[in-house]
Amino acid sequence: MTQPTAVDFKNQGNKALLESKYEEAIELYTKAINLDSTNAVFFANRAQAHIKSEAYGSAIADASEAIKLDPSYTKAYYRRAVAKTAIVRYKDALPDFKVTVDRAPNDKDAKARYLECQKIVRRLAFEKAIEVEDEPSVAETLDIRSLKVEDSYDGPELDIEFVKEADSDKFFPKVNMTKEFITQTIERFKVGKLLPRKYLYAIVLQAMKLFQQEPTMVEIKAEMPDHLITICGDTHGQFFDLLEIFRKNGEPSENHMYLFNGDFVDRGSWSCEIALTLYAYKILYPSSFFINRGNHETDSMNKVYGFEGECKHKYVSESVFKLFSESFSLLPLATLVSDQYFVVHGGLFSDDNVTLDDIRKFNRFSEKQPGMHGIMMEMLWTDPQPEPGRGPSKRGIGIQFGPDVTDRFCKANGLKAVIRSHEVRMGGYSEEHDGKLITVFSAPNYCDSQGNKGAYINVREDGELNFVTFDAVPHPDIKPMRYASQLMGM
């Protein structure tokens, strides 16, 4: 029987890529490379599969290898540029876009991305030049009392009291949230209607007060046999799939805690609706509804992957996104569930000496955005790897950590497992690192293209985990990434 050639594996990889089977495509291109490591096309094609699976660091490495093998291979420069912009390395991407445009002047997509990248680099330079160190926050300057609810609004009324703050002339909105308001608002969102900006501002401000009172690592447990904790992973603006979780698993209540483990905005086209729904539930059930911060609850991601654009499109206001941004910077970074499970969006650390006590003491308010180094960045960005030790991140940001790292962290902190999100899992969840590392992802058929299941985890009083998977449900014909930057939305 004839053995497959490198070209055979490459062709099979191309087919898998077209069918959105990205991990399979990566494996097939890797087989082609193992048989022939001198062909630039194999590396460039694997770079594209890495881009599709959001492994941008690996994509940059493969595109760079393709360029090294064949400096005339224009497509490799283009893919490297796309991968760099995905991790907001705009200045680094410009030279690669320029090579592409110079060599392929008729490529409209490449030219549009090049011009958009130039525009972003100029805008960032301008913003840095006029940056004010102590610029007042939107939360402090909004005058919600004077805002009127539009006469055309036909939705539920939100009960807002305005309470005068001590030693100040300012009045703070106090929201009296009800289950009926949330239910009616969800129905409103389902048919494409919005909340008035006055209500939005009041909800976000009230949620911010609650987040600010919570520690960097929240600690929760099911106290009674009839109590339940549900842990959800990324929902990424997939509002109708969020509603499927509540339909299938039960709505939040005082006895049914929910923990959303970050990345509830960006990519999907209903991020505003998800954020407002989660915040409303937080106000209604402050002691049983919790939200961790993810790497997409950050400005750099929101400006590229759609949340900023969505806020401006739906609410025609700069202040809406800025207020949400301020709320994201107050979110807790982790949750300890039942004293046994450390729940964090990304993963573990570059230093074995980091403990739960270090996280408890960490001042998350000292840096609003996570930056490229440090504990906050690692909690939001890191990923597991099957090999022992630590390695460079396939994303191009943070690190990867092996089973030995997870084992040492669990033993040092008396944990059964680390639960994280941050990555698609085709079955909705995975158990790795000898069962001590669990990934849960709650956005089924991610971006309408991946074909994956969604999942959530139920934790009962005895601490046992029950994994539940679910399929994507139909949604209105609005595509993912509709509001994203042109760099990502093409």
Number of H helices, E strands in the chain: 19, 16
Sheet holding 399-401, edge to edge: 383-384, 399-401, 390-392
Which stretch of DSSP H or E encloses residue 52?
helix 40-52
Of 322, 328, 315, 310, which is closest to residue 197 (Cα–Cα)?
Answer: 315
Distance CA 28, CA 42 (A): 10
CB neighbours of residue 185 within 10 Å:
22
Of 134, 94, 84, which is closest to residue 114 (Cα–Cα)?
Answer: 94
- Check 50, 236, 256, 296 and give the catalytic one: 296
Angle at 261 between CA 385 and CA 477, to 5 degrees: 100
Which stretch of DSSP H or E encloses residue 489?
helix 486-489
Sheet holding 256-261, edge to edge: 289-292, 256-261, 228-232, 454-459, 465-470
Distance CA 330, CA 445 (A): 30
The torsion angles phi and psi of 442, rounded to 5 degrees, stand at -115, 25
Spatial contact of 366 and 406, defined as CB atoms under 8 Å apart: no
Structure tokens at 402: 């092996």
345 a catalytic residue: no
Distance CA 267, CA 475 (A): 15
Helices (H), ranges, 329-461: 356-361, 375-381, 403-413
Residues constituting the chain? 490
Structure tokens at 301: 């991601």
Q: DSSP 3-state assignment of 470? A: strand
Most distant CA pair in the chain, distance: 85
- Catalogue the active-site residues: 296
